[in-house]
C-alpha cells in the first residue's frame, strides 16, 4: 500500500516534482525529496519520474515510502513567557498563546511552547514519544490558543496518553464562526489528509473517499451556540481532536471559523488569527480553564476583500 497519494492542483502546474513534494509534505525537505525520487520511490500516474519533471494539474503523485521526520531535542527557550494554569509533580497545564507553535520543525528553532516547557521543566527533555515534543500529550495549531497538557515523567505520560485515546480527558473549546450554528449537534465525519493540499485535512462523507484516503473517525460536539458579531459563538467538545478537526468539521457544515481563510472563513484585520480557543481541560477530577479573547464584548474586524 502506498504511503501517500497527492493530487496536483492548478497552483502546482509547471513546477518541478521535487519542489512540489517539499512544499506539500512536511516530512520532506527538497534534498530528501530528491533522494526519494532518485531511489524510485515516487511515481506520477503509476510511472517513475525524474526530479525535474514538471507536474500538471490533475497528476496523481504516489510516494511508495515516506521517511519519518528527523527527530531532535527541542531547544530550551527561557525567553518565551509560559503561563502555567495547573502544576503538580506529575503534569502541568499551560496556556498557549496564539501565534506560538506547539513544537519546533527545525533543529535549534526557538519561540515554541516545547522550548518554553523544557526550559522550565528540564526533566521533560526525554519524556514523550518525540524529542521535539517534550512531555506534550496533544497539540494545538499555531493560531489556536488555550490549554495544553504535558507530563513531567514517562509513567505519567503513558497513563495520560491512554486516557486521551480512550476519550477520558475532556477538552472543550470556544469558537467564533460564520453564520448561525444550530446546537446541540454532533459532527461525526471521518477526517483524512487532503490529497490536493497537504496544509489541510478533508471531512469525508462518501464511503469511497473514506476508503481511498484512509480517513479516520472524528467526532465534534457543538454543545451551545449564541449569536455574536459576524456569526456565532459556540462551545465545542472534542476529546480526541485530530489535526484541524474542528476547523474542517465546521467548514464542512458551512460555518468556518472567523479568520480561518485556509478553510474558507473570512479574513480578519483584528485579531489577525482564526478564532478558536481551547478553554477547558479536565483530567480526572481536575478541571482547568483559561480566558480567551474578550468574546463577550469585542467584535472581530473583518478584513476588506481583495480585488
For 100, residues 6+ apart whose C-beta sits below 8 A from its C-beta are 80, 111, 112, 113, 142
**Residue of 77, 141, 194, 260 with catalytic role:** 141
Cα separation, 254 vs 52, in Å, equals 40
Listed residue (74, 131, 78) closest to 104, CA to CA: 74
Q: Give yes or no: 143 in active site.
A: no
Q: How far apart are CA 132 and CA 76, in angstroms?
A: 11
Q: Are 82 and 134 in contact (CB under 8 A)?
A: no
**How far apart are the C-alpha atoms of 258 and 4, rounded to whole Å?**
31
Cβ atoms < 10 Å from Cβ of 141: 19
The total of other beta-carbon atoms located within 10 Å of residue 297's CB is 6
Q: What is the DSSP string of 208-226?
A: HHHHHHT-B---EEEEEEE
Q: What is the CA radius of gyration of the chain?
A: 20
CB contact at 8 A, 121 and 75: no
Strand pairing class (4-7; 286-289): unpaired
Please name which of 121, 119, 133, 114 lies closest in space to residue 91, comparing C-alpha atoms: 121
Q: Residue 275: is it exposed, middle or buried by C-beta count within 10 angstroms (0-12/13-18/19+)?
A: buried
Helix (H, G, I), strand (E, B) or coil at 125: helix
Distance of alpha carbon 259 from the chain centroid: 15
How far apart are the C-alpha atoms of 163 and 226, rounded to whole Å?
31
Catalogue the active-site residues: 141
Amino acid at each position: 500500500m502506498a504511503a501517500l497519494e497527492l493530487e496536483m492542483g492548478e497552483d502546482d502546474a509547471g513546477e518541478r516534482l521535487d519542489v512540489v513534494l517539499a512544499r506539500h509534505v512536511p516530512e520532506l525537505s527538497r534534498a530528501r525529496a530528491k533522494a526519494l525520487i532518485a531511489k524510485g520511490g515516487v511515481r506520477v500516474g503509476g510511472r517513475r519520474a525524474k526530479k525535474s519533471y514538471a507536474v500538471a494539474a490533475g497528476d496523481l503523485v504516489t510516494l511508495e515510502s515516506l521517511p519519518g521526520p528527523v527527530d531532535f531535542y527541542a531547544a530550551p527557550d527561557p525567553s518565551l513567557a509560559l503561563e502555567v494554569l495547573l502544576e503538580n509533580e506529575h503534569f502541568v497545564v499551560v496556556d498557549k498563546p496564539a501565534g506560538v507553535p506547539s513544537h519546533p520543525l527545525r533543529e535549534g528553532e526557538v519561540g515554541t511552547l516545547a522550548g518554553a516547557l523544557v526550559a522550565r521543566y528540564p526533566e521533560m527533555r526525554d519524556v514523550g514519544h518525540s524529542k521535539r515534543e517534550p512531555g506534550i500529550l496533544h497539540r494545538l495549531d499555531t493560531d489556536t490558543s488555550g490549554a495544553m497538557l504535558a507530563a513531567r515523567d514517562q509513567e505519567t505520560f503513558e497513563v495520560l496518553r491512554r486516557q486521551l485515546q480512550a476519550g477520558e480527558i475532556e477538552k472543550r473549546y470556544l469558537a467564533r464562526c460564520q453564520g448561525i450554528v444550530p446546537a446541540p449537534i454532533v459532527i461525526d465525519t471521518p477526517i483524512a489528509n487532503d490529497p490536493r493540499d497537504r496544509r489541510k485535512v478533508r471531512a469525508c462523507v462518501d464511503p469511497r473517499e473514506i476508503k481511498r484516503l484512509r480517513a479516520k473517525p472524528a467526532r465534534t460536539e457543538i454543545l451551545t451556540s449564541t449569536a455574536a458579531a459576524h456569526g456565532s459563538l459556540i462551545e465545542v467538545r472534542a476529546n480526541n481532536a485530530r489535526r484541524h478537526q474542528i476547523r474542517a468539521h465546521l467548514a464542512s457544515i458551512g460555518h468556518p471559523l472567523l479568520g480561518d481563510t485556509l478553510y474558507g472563513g473570512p479574513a480578519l484585520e483584528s485579531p489577525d488569527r482564526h478564532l478558536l480557543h481551547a478553554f477547558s481541560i479536565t483530567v480526572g477530577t481536575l478541571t482547568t480553564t483559561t480566558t480567551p479573547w474578550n468574546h463577550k464584548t469585542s467584535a472581530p474586524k473583518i478584513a476588506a476583500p481583495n480585488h
